[in-house]
Structure 1
């Protein structure tokens, strides 16, 4: 066992301890734009640590990802609860991306007054 494995585990345990009050607070509203990426990063770290043989770090990061998944599911400001919030967030992100690309392309096609189209 590497000592770094225990350090990463300790950091993950602290994160879990700090996230617990948010999970318990029924009035907490954490935006999906914060919680979904945090959940995803925790899961990616867990897989990465596992592939490096850092079992304790992987378990700790998986615990953090699970805490964030609970926040995604039950503490988002949306009127809906549950894991479907991840799908809603992904759909919203895709719509925003399409709108941004569409706005960008329409700005290039029809430049603002005083701007050239080159």
Structure 2
């Protein structure tokens, strides 16, 4: 194992830490001219490291490229319009709902909970009452 493999992996890991807030911030807007080249570079580096036998570096670059791909899909305004137009945003919301149901604290009964029309979901009176 080469020490350079770990250095590149740590560098890719740091890029994940620094890109995380951009992905999580709903007001972030990243132009496609930034995110697509960065995503492509991450995947090209990953393939290059893999051919050199630097597995950890390849994994790090692949995850950095994937982080840029997520930023492209979620935080680039043209990509968001495309996702709304094609229904991919519905797929995303369905996946989030599915993941929430996989939590150990979630019960099958929760998805069939009855809501009283005169009260809100948590039992409070509606503002109109």
Name the TM tier (shorter chain). Answer: 0.5 to 0.7
Q: CA deviation at 1:65?
A: 0.3
Q: Residue 95 of structure 2 corresponds to which residue in structure 1?
A: none
Map of 1:1-118 to 2, 5 A cutoff? 1-78=1-78, 79-81=81-83
Q: Work out the CA distance in 2 between the residues paired with 1:20 and 1:80.
A: 23
Q: Work out the CA distance in 1 between the residues paired with 2:83 and 2:74.
A: 5
Q: Which runs of 5+ in 1 are unaligned?
A: 85-118
| Higher deviation after alignment, 72-81 or 33-42 | 72-81
Q: CA deviation at 1:47?
A: 0.3
Identify which of structures 1 and 2 has the higher relative contact order when contacts are C-alpha pairs closer than 8 Å and 6+ apart.
Answer: 1
Q: Which has the larger radius of gyration?
A: 2
4+ runs deviating over 4 angstroms:
none
| RMSD after superposition | 1.5
Q: Secondary structure at the match of 2:82?
A: coil
Q: Work out the CA distance in 1 between the residues paired with 2:17 and 2:63.
A: 10
Q: CA deviation at 1:24?
A: 0.6
Q: CA deviation at 1:31?
A: 0.1
Q: CA deviation at 1:26?
A: 1.3
Q: CA deviation at 1:27?
A: 1.2
Q: Secondary structure at the match of 1:20?
A: helix
Q: Secondary structure at the match of 1:80?
A: helix
